[in-house]
Amino acid sequence: MLLALEGIAGAGKSTLRDRLLATAHAEDIPLSHIGQFSWLSHPATRTLIRLRAGLGGDEQEAVEAAATDLTLHSRFNIAVALTAGPVLADRLTLSTACLLALLHQQPVDAYVERLAEQAQARPQLTVLLTTEPDVCHARITRRATERRFTEQRETAARLADLYNEAADAWTKATGLPVLKHPCTTHADLEALVNACMEDLRSADGPTPPNKEASR
């Protein structure tokens, strides 16, 4: 099973990720963790780094770089990890689609549909953390790290809207579920952990790399 955590910076993804990894390992579920990109293509990597810095550049080049990287990620990282057990992605397709839509000021649906073509990189469950942008901003301001452009208040609010649109487009394009839930309180965190663990327990065991699981 592939599980993806999505949402704006400060939404609670890292907190949920760490809790899921700890809980799964305590139950002897071999949950592993991957990031958003593969970084296996030098040309694609150069384009993705520019995108993450807020430099949109040529739209078609950006889309193809994202698609190329996702293909490599699926083949050489995700598929391999799935042979050992379930995999948790801290950001994946929706985050990339939203970044493209934000920078190129285009509807997010087309980007979701393009990236969803990589069927082996489709999470069987996507969790979208819908924590309010103001709450996320307050959390981020307490961090010692330098702010990225996506963490600015107005940009984060626009991204939050894009994530909701992307989630709907994802389900429409793939038929796969997106669980939308805030991660503001301890009760929210517990509810999210319980929901994800229910799926992980039912899907425990290696997943063949060339077989798309369904839920």
**CATH (residue range 2-202):** 3.40.50.300
Strand, helix or coil for residue 6: strand
Determine the pLDDT at residue 209. 46
pTM above 0.85, yes or no: yes
Q: How far apart, in whole angstroms, are the C-alpha atoms of residue 89 and residue 82?
A: 12
Determine the pLDDT at residue 185. 98
Domain boundaries, the chain: 2-202
Determine the pLDDT at residue 212. 38
Give per-10-residue mean pLDDT for the chain (215 aa).
Answer: 98 98 98 98 98 97 98 98 97 98 98 97 98 97 88 96 98 98 98 98 63 35
State the DSSP string of 80-104.
HHHTTS-EEEES-HHHHHHHHHHHH
The beta strands (E) that lie in the chain are given as 2-6, 32-34, 87-90, 125-129, 178-181
Q: How far, CA to CA in Å, does 59 sit from each of 47, 62, 79?
A: 10, 5, 28
Determine the pLDDT at residue 207. 54
